[in-house]
Chain A
Amino acid sequence: MGIVRILWLLGAALLLAACPKPDEIDRPLPPLDREGEKKQSDLPPAIPAKLEVERVAPDADHKPSARSPIVDIMSSEIKRSMDVLSQQPIPVYYLSYQVYDNRRVVIETDGGALLTFTDDTERFLDTEVRVGSAKLDNRHQLSNEQEDAINAPMPRKSIMPFGTDELSIRHHLWLDTDRRYREAALALRRVLVDKSVTAQEDSPPDFAIARAEEYIESPASLDFDEDMWIKRARDCSKRAFRGVATRATCRLDFELRTVYFVNSEGTVLQMVRPSALMSVSVGVKADDGMPLGRVEQRFARTPAGLPDDAELDRIIARVTSDLNALHRAPVVDPYVGPAILEGRAAGVFFHEVFGHRIEGHRQKQRTSGQTFASKVGEEIMPQWLTVYDDPTLLTANGAPLNGFYRFDDEGVRAQRAILVERGVLKGFIMGRNPIAGFSRSNGHGRKEPGRNAVSRQGNLVVSVSRSVQGDELERALIAEVKRQGKPFGMVFSDISGGFTNTSRFLPQAFKVNPVMAYRVYPDGRRELVRGVDIVGTPLTALGSIMLASREVETFNGMCGAESGWVPVSASAPSLLLKSLEVERGFKGVDRPPVLPPPSIEREPNSAQNHDRRGN
């Protein structure tokens, strides 16, 4: 199955697509604009973009005395199981338990009324059992992709009792270990048969050994004033329900996740992740049937860190005025030409176009396009560009980063993974699935509860050593428009998400979905357009980056892939690309409601916001 990865704003839906068509595609690489071939005067000024980050050592705040009794129960049950299972004819060589304690509060309002209020606490268990050896184990890829999917551990969150009652916790650990051991043993038998009946080349080991870690974080609590936040959300959605919007929701997601991880290598982790998210969303259907929406989200570690009233007012004003403008905006025609991706849009662009292709396990999958597998040491971007992923970054330019974590879901310490250094490909985002030349994890094995971890992005950072001021970037765009003889250039200020295909059965293409896209004419005039998708192929797109801005912006969101949804961020300066292709996006076929809206009480100032409903 080909996998399509998507990055959405937090809370959006998952989409997977299948594409079984075994036919390898070999594509020649496009030429790059090499700096060395340019005159020094053509290069941007040697001033780095402004990026101040706060970094946290994974084991900072280690407090052994805060260790939960659950961790000890998990450790002793692992030992008890390993003593027996490592001696079986099909031996277990690795066993891990991961227990999630999750409290999640959701407050959702619509047009001033409370739609949902939930305050749930859940506890789940994920057990990983590996049998055979690290060289060849039950997770070894089968030659048939569909068979391989069936051979993988069944995605499932297992039951784990609340509290610290030793017997009930031990019992459920034992049950799940037994189930997963059986499953793993069956899978390894299938692997061995597959190896014996198919021609397979030697491949790197199936699992990377990692050092034992110990980190204990103090427990935390999720505190918030329920009545106050419900009132704020209610007021927010009431005020956002204006202009052309037929839907205006404000949603708060408060979460406190405590993760306990223990494995047979001796790693013991207890980690706390608090988060708070505020989403303001408005929508309407355009007259031609195109669904239009604007979402603004703010991420913080705690509810107290979310925007204050003044900032919320600005957010509401922004989404409602953007929606009104989108409603009037013309649908764009296909276009190829110079374009600016503004900060957050550039971050998402890099996440999709580059980040997913640099995930280590994809370089090993037989069905993956492996765009960068053979490019290590080669220049793939301008020399003033460096790209890395660093989950240990807590903030960037003062803003909290959603992809922060201390240890990954495979018990490995989070580390900065240098991906591109001065334009040259250096490495990959690695979990514990080794690939040729990269035998170790750099702490990026990630998953949502119930899934199997693979290498995933955390905090992706695009760092530039040469940059210009934002207004200079737009001037450069206009100059490039004129140079290419184009009628206009494009600026993308917000991208809601996108997907990229890494399966070799389909073109190695990407598509991202800008929400706010503008035509910029040679006279400097901007015109908002809608119904735009950016499409292209990664090597071409990355090779056409011309210039970066001094200002860096951060996108915080959730990324969905085969290991589920994980929190991520992407920070980047605005980028000018020499050529970007734009096509008409999916328009939808539903026409707007037949009847005009019923007489609905609107926000008092709504008339000035193009209210076409009357009262």
Chain B
Amino acid sequence: MKRIVCITAFAAALAVAAAASARTSPGPMSGPSKAVTSEILDAIALEIERAKSALRIAGALPPYFIGHKLTEVEVSDTVASLGSTTWKKDRHFVTLDARVHVGDYKLDNSNFVIANAERTDGLATLQLPIEATPRIARRVAWLVTDAAYKEALEQIRAKIDTRRAGGTSDPDRPSHTRRAAFVKQEPVEVPALESNDALDRRARAISRVFRGIAHVRDSRVAFTSFLERRWYINSEGTRAHDTRRVSGVIIVATAQADDGQELAVFYSRYGHTAKDLPGDSELLAEARNLAKKLDAIRKAPVVDNYIGPVLFEGGGAVDIVRTTLAPHLGGTPLPEGLSAAEAKQFGGGLSDDTVGLRVLSPLLSVTDDPTSHRSGRRALIGGFQIDDEGVPAQRVEVVRDGFLKTLLIGRTPSKKLRTSNGHARRSAPGGVYRGTATNLFISGKRGLSRKQLVGKLLAEARAQGLPYALIIRRLDDAAMTAAPELSARELLHLYQSTDREAPPIAIEASRVYPDGREELVRGVQLRPVRLREWEDILAVGKKANVFNFLASGQLNIAHKINGVADNGAVPSAGIESAVVTPDLLFRKLQVVRSTAGRRGATAVSRPR
């Protein structure tokens, strides 16, 4: 007999929260899906049931868990440059992912990477029609489950063999968490997508700002509007539905310093709909501001090598959280079968062995709350009701006063964290979703005003015998700024010479002198920022910085290498995420002078 957990109270709470936070009328709604109806879900559920009871190969393990995720995506993207559209597309598609686990909850195939066969992971995906056709949906479910089952059998064989040969550090840890059935089938209505024509008009109008600005080399303005409807059905009886909705805008401009170094700055804003984005006049001002900032940066000197206190201010604070802290908050064990070097990209700096220990500065507390939709007046896009394993989202206090309370986790347990807290989000090799930050809130004790923070920064610099200190206001995000400026040979050199563990280069940074004078600098490359440096936070700001972004599945260097795609970087790929953090003052970080990206001056003058 399956237990059914009632969602009513949870859903009602969300509805109230959403209603209370809505600034304005949401406008026209997207309406229910025409591609995935209850008949489609019934057809897929029937196929899961059939597979669970009958899918087996003689002499091999049967599936003990089958989970299907249906994802319907509607997206409108547009990009403009200098007043003209360069890209405009609408997309609508539906996919069906099947995950099959063989063995049992104690030891199954999951979270294991087969050497040279990373994609044999018990997960298969096929496309579904964009119009509801139950007979086709059931056929697809049949084929995709079959494919995932066969992969799962290969995966568990390899996992057992590898454990025999190389052992495992944690043989008693279960592979998967048992959960009661969870049912939440009512449609989640979200506002309809904005008209792509309207977004295009805005992009063109804002992008015109750069027409007359001589020092701006390349520029673009992109809007996106997308929704993702998701349905989760599994053999435990779970049947849940959720919808995510995001609109966003990015503005990018590039220039060349006098010494030839290429420079890029960007502005981005995401919300639930375009109503959460700034209006045109504000975006026009932001575009002009970017151009002005770029002019100042290109005239700025290149920083010298530096070891000392660094203040991360505004977007800089968000970026250092995003790139050096958030990846370590997931508690999902790293996939077996990967080398330590390969596994590093999935974070894992904190293990459940450190729960209860001090891991950050006692000034800091960290909470992740996917049930939150706003921070003050700003929308947060990292929220959801159901995670990617069909588990209801939960607010999780991760760190209190520097001490680790728990980690973000899905249904793949760690040694001590056996229950999902609804944070399965990022897919990774090994075929499981990893616990991942969603709406991440960093709060600090004894927050200081900016003046006090800068004073403390300078005092620390003085104490360390330094003539100045550093402030970082923005790290690069190559998913936004990558540009096709480099040749294949130069990209190869870039790939070989980049320290993949270091944060992206700072694109907005200043030296601050004892008299309070600030001087913009460029070429500011942080050395890797380890977790231990987070224990040495000297002070935090009073004000919270709120920033939404789409967390890319690719490394920054990969975006740099790939450059903007044919589309001119439409910002609609990645996991919806938000960080809310005060400014952060680190006691000691290392910065190296970067002169990367230098090239000769342009021979032909810019067209007028």
Do B603 and A159 have beta carbons less than 8 Å apart? no
Given A151-B489, A152-B488, A246-B139, do A167 and B82 touch, yes or no (CB 8 Å)?
Answer: yes
Q: Does A163 contact B (CB under 8 A)?
A: yes
How far apart are A74's CB and chain B's nearest CB, in angstroms? 12
- The minimal Cβ–Cβ distance linking A471 to chain B, given in whole angstroms, is 43
Task: Check A110 for interface membership: any CB of B closer than 8 A.
Answer: yes
B81 on the A face (CB < 8 A): yes
Chain A CB within 8 A of B419 CB: no
**Is the CB–CB distance between A161 and B142 below 8 Å?**
no
Out of B50, B88, B149, B218, which one reaches A598, CB within 8 Å?
B50
**Docked pose: A179 CA to B602 CA in angstroms:** 9
Q: Are A600 and B135 in contact (CB under 8 A)?
A: yes
With a CB–CB cut-off of 8 A, which chain B residues contact A160? 86
Interface 0/1 of B577-608, CB less than 8 Å to A: 00000000000000000000001101110111
Mask of A220-246 contacts with B, CB within 8 angstroms, 1/0: 000000000000000000000000001
Interface: B267 (CB within 8 A): no
Give the chain A neighbours of B448 by CB distance below 8 A.
none
Contact A162-B489, Cβ < 8 Å, known A81-B604, A114-B129, A593-B142: no
Residues in A with CB closer than 8 Å to B599 are 182
Do B566 and A165 touch across chains, with their CB atoms under 8 A apart? no
Q: Are the C-beta atoms of A157 and B84 separated by less than 8 Å?
A: no
Query: Does A203 touch B at the CB level, under 8 Å?
Result: no
If the complex has contacts A111-B135, A159-B568, A183-B487, are A598 and B142 also in contact, measured as CB distance less than 8 A? yes
CA distance in complex: A347, B365 (Å): 71
- Take A114-B131, A156-B563 as given contacts and tell me if A171 and B607 are in contact as well, using a CB distance cutoff of 8 Å: yes
Q: Is the CB of B488 within 8 A of A116?
A: no
Q: A117-B130, A186-B489 are in contact. Are A595 and B54 (CB under 8 A)?
A: yes
B82 touching A154, Cβ below 8 Å: no
Interface size class of B (residues with CB under 8 A): 35 or more
Which residues of A114-128 are within 8 A (CB) of B? 114-118, 120-124
Minimal Cβ-Cβ distance residue in A for B46: A598
A181 to B85, CA, bound (A): 26
Contact indicator A154/B488 (Cβ below 8 Å): yes
Shortest Cβ distance from A149 into B: residue: B488
Q: What are the residues of chain A within 8 A of B486 when measuring CB–CB?
A: 154
Q: Are B488 and A168 in contact (CB under 8 A)?
A: no
B127 sits at the interface (CB 8 A): yes
A150-B85 contact given A111-B133, A118-B91, A174-B607, CB 8 Å threshold:
no
Q: Which residues of A contact B91 (CB under 8 A)?
A: 118
Q: Would you call B397 an interface residue if the criterion is a C-beta within 8 Å of the partner chain's C-beta atoms?
A: no
* Residues 85-135 of A at the B interface (beta carbon under 8 Å): 85, 88, 109-118, 120-124
A64 at interface, CB cutoff 8 A: no
A114 to B130, Cβ gap below 8 A? yes
Chain B 464-490, CB-CB to A under 8 Å as 1, else 0, gives 000000000000000000001111111
Interface string of A166-202 (1 = CB under 8 A from B): 0111111111011101110011001000000000000
When distances are taken between beta carbons in the complex, the residues of chain B under 8 Å from A174 are 604, 606-607
Set of chain B residues within 8 Å of A112, measured between Cβ atoms? 133, 136
Contact A115-B127, Cβ < 8 Å, known A165-B84, A168-B84, A595-B51: yes
**A88-B603, A593-B142, A598-B46 known; A113 and B55 CB under 8 Å?**
no
Inter-chain contacts of B87 with A (CB < 8 A):
122, 159
Q: Which of A120, A121, A154 has most B Cβ within 10 Å? A: A154
Which residues from chain A contact B463 at a C-beta distance below 8 Å? none
What separation, in Å, do the CA atoms of A111 and B142 have in the docked complex? 15
Nearest chain A CB to B252's CB is how many angstroms away? 12
Q: B211 — nearest CB in chain A belongs to which residue?
A: A167
CB-CB under 8 A for A172 and B56, given A84-B603, A600-B138: no
Q: Which residues of A contact B568 (CB under 8 A)?
A: 159
Interface residues on chain A, number (Cβ under 8 Å): 64
From B490, which residue of chain A is reached at the shortest CB distance? A186
Q: Does A590 contact B (CB under 8 A)?
A: yes
Complex interface: chain B residues within 8 A of A182 (CB): 487, 599-600
B488 touches A178 (CB 8 A): no
Closest chain B residue to A591, Cβ basis: B150
- Among B87, B88, B563: residue with most chain A CB under 10 A: B87
Quick check: is B316 within 8 A (CB to CB) of the other chain? no
Q: How many angstroms between the C-alpha atoms of A117 and B131 in the bound complex? A: 11
Q: Which residues of A contact B93 (CB under 8 A)?
A: 116
Q: Does A527 reach chain B (CB closer than 8 Å)?
A: no
B148–chain A nearest beta-carbon distance, Å:
12
Q: Which residues of B contact A167 (CB under 8 A)?
A: 82-83, 211, 607-608
Against A, the Cβ 8 Å flags (1 = close, 0 = not) of B123-146 are 000011111010110110111001
B293 on interface, CB distance cutoff 8 Å: no
Chain B residue, CB-CB nearest to A73 = B607
B82 engages A110 (CB within 8 Å)? no
Q: A113-B131, A117-B130, A595-B54 are in contact. Are A170 and B139 (CB under 8 A)?
A: no
A601 an interface residue at 8 Å Cβ cutoff? yes
Contact B57 A179 (CB under 8 A): no
Residue of A nearest to B85 (CB): A162
Please report the C-alpha to C-alpha distance between residue A187 and residue B487 in the assembled complex, in whole angstroms: 9
Are B83 and A165 touching (Cβ within 8 A)? yes
Q: Knowing A159-B86, A246-B139, A593-B143 are in contact, say whether A179-B485 is a contact too (CB < 8 A).
A: yes
Give A24 to B40 CA distance when docked, in angstroms: 60
Closest to B140 in A: A110
Contacts of A600 in B (CB 8 A): 135, 138-139
A114 vs chain B, min Cβ distance (A): 5
| Complex interface bits, B51-95 against A, C-beta within 8 A gives 1, otherwise 0 | 100111100000000000000000000001111111111111100
Interface residues of B in 111-170 (CB under 8 A from A): 127-131, 133, 135-136, 138-139, 141-143, 146, 149-150
A125 to B374, CA, bound (A): 42
Question: Which A residue sits closest to B568, measured CB to CB?
Answer: A159
Q: How far is A91 from B438 in the complex, measured between Cα atoms in Å?
A: 53
Kindly name the residue among B88, B91, B490, B607 whose own CB sees the greatest number of chain A CB atoms within 10 A. B607
Chain B residues with Cβ below 8 Å from A163 are 84-85
Q: How far is the CA of A199 from the CA of B217 in the complex (A)?
A: 42
With A157-B566, A175-B217 known as contacts, the answer to whether A111 contacts B81 (CB < 8 A) is no
B47 within 8 A of A: yes
Which of A118, A175, A600 has its CB near the most chain B CB atoms (within 10 A)?
A175
User: Are A168 and B83 in touch, CB under 8 angstroms?
Assistant: yes
Q: B502 in the interface, Cβ–Cβ < 8 Å?
A: no
Given contacts A151-B489, A157-B566, contact A597 B130 (CB under 8 A): no
Tell me the minimal C-beta distance from A154 to chain B in angstroms.
Answer: 5
A81 contacts which chain B residues (CB < 8 A)? 604
Identity of the chain A residue whose Cβ is nearest the Cβ of B254 in the assembled complex: A175
- Asked whether B18 is an interface residue with its Cβ less than 8 Å from the other chain, the reply is no
B180 at the interface (CB under 8 A from A): no
Q: How far is the CB of A469 from chain B (nearest CB, A)?
A: 46
**B130 surroundings in chain A (CB, below 8 A):** 114-117
**Within the assembled complex, what's the spacing in Å between the Cα atoms of A158 and B141?**
40
User: Are the CB atoms of B81 and A168 closer together than 8 Å?
Assistant: yes
Taking a contact as CB atoms under 8 Å apart, the answer to whether A120 and B89 are in contact is yes
| A/B interface sample: 9 pairs, CB < 8 A | A113-B129, A115-B129, A117-B130, A161-B81, A167-B82, A182-B600, A246-B139, A595-B50, A597-B139
Please name 18 further chain A to chain B contacts, defined as beta carbons within 8 Å, in addition to the given A150-B492, A598-B139, sorted by A numbering: A80-B607, A110-B129, A111-B135, A111-B136, A112-B133, A152-B488, A159-B86, A159-B566, A167-B83, A168-B83, A171-B81, A171-B607, A179-B485, A186-B487, A190-B489, A246-B143, A595-B51, A595-B55
A residues engaging B (CB < 8 A)?
77, 80-81, 84-85, 88, 109-118, 120-124, 149-152, 154, 156-163, 165, 167-175, 177-179, 181-183, 186-187, 190, 246, 450, 590-591, 593-595, 597-598, 600-601
B residues touching A (Cβ–Cβ < 8 Å)? Answer: 46-47, 50-51, 54-57, 80-93, 127-131, 133, 135-136, 138-139, 141-143, 146, 149-150, 211, 217-218, 484-492, 563-564, 566, 568, 599-600, 602-604, 606-608
Pairs of residues from A and B, 9 with the lowest C-beta to C-beta distance, nearest first? A161-B84, A113-B129, A113-B133, A168-B82, A170-B607, A168-B84, A183-B487, A593-B146, A111-B136
